[in-house]
Amino acid sequence: QVELVEAGGGLVQAGSSLRLSCRASRIFSGGAMGWFRQAAGKEREFVAGIRWTGFNQVYLDSVKGRFTITRDNTKNTVFLQMNSLRPEDTAVYYCAADERVYEVDTRASAYEYWGQGTQVTVSS
């Protein structure tokens, strides 16, 4: 079993930045970790993902150039740097991880482990 613990959400104004972190309770030998978000009344959507090895990163089109996903393998932690935040970025953000995926998968169903979620609210 793996526990994922997220941190870094909050309430900010449009144009501001936030950095989310997601720490896994154990080392992953492979697979990928993704960030998803779910706004009120909407389905959960993929935001960004990264493999635990290599350099492959995948982003939702609307966050490209604003969000950056990175990892620190020594700390079993993945980060999501969010710049130029917009009101439409408001959502609960979840991290997810799975060792079985070979490439970053944008489907929520591909991930076995999930964090508890952290609220990001961007005011206009």
* Cβ–Cβ < 8 Å for 16, 122: yes
pLDDT tens readout for residues 50-70: 998 887 899 999 999 999 999
Task: Name the phi and psi angles at 45, rounded to 5.
Answer: -130, 150
pLDDT at 102 over 90: no
21 forms beta bridges with 7, 79
User: Helix (H, G, I), strand (E, B), or coil: what is residue 89?
Assistant: helix
Percent of the chain with pLDDT over 90: 83
What does the alpha-carbon distance between residue 113 and residue 60 come to, in Å, rounded to a whole number?
20
pLDDT band at 117 (very low <50, low <70, confident <90, very high): very high
pLDDT mean across residues, the chain: 95
Compute the residue count for the chain.
124
